[in-house]
Structure 1
Amino acid sequence: MSAFSEGAPCWADASLPDLAAGQRFYGELFGWTFQDLGEEFGHYTLAQRDGKNAAALMGKMDPSMPTAWSVYFAATDAAKTAAKITEAGGQITFGPDAVADTGVLLGAVDPGGSFFGVWQAGGHPGFDIVDEPGAFCWTENHTRDAAPVDAFYEAVFGYGAQQIGDGTNFDYKVWSLPGDPETRVAGRMRRGEDLPADLPSAFQIYFTVADCDEAAATVQRLGGRLIMEPEDSPFGRMAIVADDQGAHFAVIDTRRIVGEIPGR
């Protein structure tokens, strides 16, 4: 049985053109060590922090695959979740597929165009470590199609939603597990018209760091890019970056809190 509730983020991985380069980059940035699962699993490589599974890296199996981080949500029955995804207007891109005895995997795209994965745990439950430096702490869906996307995830995972901000100039919702508004699992950000029209919808993944400014500087030193300068927020000091192969993610020091959460 999964250690994660239905609909909770349980895993993240990055699809990269150069797996070895990814290990060098993230090994230095997050202090990760790596375990290659071998040819049987396409050299899927676990990223570990202090011996605990924090995420994974994999080489792109097809050049057309995006260079990107992906998030996976827990399911007790991947086949039933796949049916809900289709019924709610999403698209299944692969699976459900059994991955030896580790679990069952499927990939999907929501009505707004954001890719996400679903994981039915077997021998691999998902994250061993979260909310600590070098580990996953949050994800949010950046989309232009807020209303259909909200309805989709409510239908698939039963999420509740709390509006943060005014819903117009700043339209951000926090999703929570069914009947449990205190257990927040993800966010939904409606993208503004000021952003390029061809910018694809996507889930953005946040990793905790001990020092946001130092992490942002390290990204740049290692050949990555700074997309959003470090800035303070009521959730922590954060920056949006890209690695040296172009995969976007965010880093956040959750101890450095400045200001009040909008809407509270």
Structure 2
Amino acid sequence: MLTTNYVPGTPNWLDLGAPDIDAAVAFYSAVFGWSFQSAGPEAGGYGMFQLDGRTVGAVGPLTEEGASSAWTAYFQTSDADATAKAVEQAGGAVRVPPMDVFTAGRLAAFTDPTGADFAVWQPGDSKGLETVMEPNTLCWTELYTTDAAAARDFYRSVFSWSYQDMPMGGDLVYSVVSAPGGGQGDDTGHGGIMQLQKEHLAAGSTSEWHPYFGVTDCDATFAAATDHGATVLIPPTDAPGVGRLAMLKDPAGAPFALIKGDPTMV
């Protein structure tokens, strides 16, 4: 499970690239009750989503040419420069070279060999998200990919991840991701990897990471999201042994998911 006792390879930050910061803040405030705290004029519009005074994510303007609105998952690293070299050696691409963010920490952004964007955060003054695994906070990260085998090999090389493969019927396999030292006992999973199915590939789906936010009532939060302009990808659905989940795109097109239950029980 996710915790704020971050170790290398576990999710420690999450931010949203949005074409309209005010609109994004209005949407997520309505859906999750988040507030927004600007990082200051020198941050170029970037700021923190907060819940009860604790940071649960961030939002900033789109900075890359041709970029579309999306959530970016960041994973803990003790050395962003070394991780950048590991990414290149494993066949990934460096989108944003390692750079200091004032005294908060050091970041770098990448694309894996299957086309999914992700990033790393090397903590400085900012250790990462201040709360996870609570209602209306991050509780899981998930990669839908065009090539699950290649993705597993890549992330194993970069982060030393291990996988527990869970058959889901037919040829469908869900790989639960764990990082060395993450979690406690058997509860070490912090995310999942799933192969995009043929019909999704035919429809033009591409590799992407997206966040799951824990909720106390999946249907009610789903209704709040759609009432405020979200697009439905998967309506509220019961997942046996896991809970009830749904997937949407926010009004600017960034995918995210909701879950009432425990995603580590996949």
Same fold (TM over 0.5): yes
Distance (Å, rounded) in 2 between the aligned partners of 1:251 and 1:185: 15
Distance (Å, rounded) in 2 between the aligned partners of 1:167 and 1:160: 22
The reply to whether residue 148 of structure 1 matches residue 150 of structure 2 is yes
Tell me the SS of whatever aligns to 1:138.
strand
Task: Give the aligned residue type for 2:141.
Answer: T
User: Residue in 1 aligned with 2:82?
Assistant: 80
Task: Give the aligned residue type for 2:113.
Answer: P
Query: Within 5 A, what are the aligned runs for 1:115-264?
Result: 115-165=117-167, 169-178=171-180, 182-197=187-202, 198-233=204-239, 234-254=241-261
Distance (Å, rounded) in 2 between the aligned partners of 1:229 and 1:244: 16
Tell me the SS of whatever aligns to 2:246.
strand
Task: Give the aligned residue type for 1:191.
Answer: L
Distance (Å, rounded) in 2 between the aligned partners of 1:47 and 1:173: 30
User: Residue in 2 aligned with 1:65?
Assistant: 67
TM-score, with structure 2 as normaliser: 0.92
Tell me the SS of whatever aligns to 2:74.
strand
Q: Using the TM superposition, give the Cα deviation of residue 77 of structure 1 relative to its aligned residue in structure 2, in angstroms.
A: 0.6
After the TM superposition, list the runs of 4 or more consecutive aligned residues in structure 1 that deviate by more than 6 angstroms.
none
Tell me the SS of whatever aligns to 1:40.
helix
Q: How many residues align?
A: 257
Tell me the SS of whatever aligns to 2:248.
strand
Distance (Å, rounded) in 1 between the aligned partners of 2:226 and 2:191: 27
CA contact (8 A) 1:160 1:179 kept: no
Q: Using the TM superposition, give the Cα deviation of residue 182 of structure 1 relative to its aligned residue in structure 2, in angstroms.
A: 3.6
Q: How much is the aligned-residue C-alpha RMSD, in angstroms?
A: 1.8
CA contact (8 A) 2:146 2:206 kept: no
- Specify whether residues 154 and 63 from structure 1 end up closer, same or farther in structure 2 by C-alpha distance, changes over 3 A only: closer
Task: Give the aligned residue type for 1:57.
Answer: V
Query: Within 5 A, what are the aligned runs for 1:85-104?
Result: 85-104=87-106
Q: Using the TM superposition, give the Cα deviation of residue 42 of structure 1 relative to its aligned residue in structure 2, in angstroms.
A: 1.1
Q: Could you report, residue by residue, the CA deviation over 1:206-242 in whole angstroms, capped at 9, with x for unpaired residues?
A: 0011110001111111011111010111222100011
CA contact (8 A) 1:219 1:226 kept: no
Distance (Å, rounded) in 2 between the aligned partners of 1:242 and 1:14: 12
Q: Could you report, residue by residue, the CA deviation over 1:97-156 in whole angstroms, capped at 9, with x for unpaired residues?
A: 000000000000111111000000011111111011110000111002111111111111
Q: Which structure would you say has the larger RCO, counting Cα contacts within 8 Å and 6 or more residues apart?
A: 2
Which ranges of structure 2 fall in alignment gaps of 5 or more residues?
Answer: none
- The alignment-based identity, stated in percent, is 36
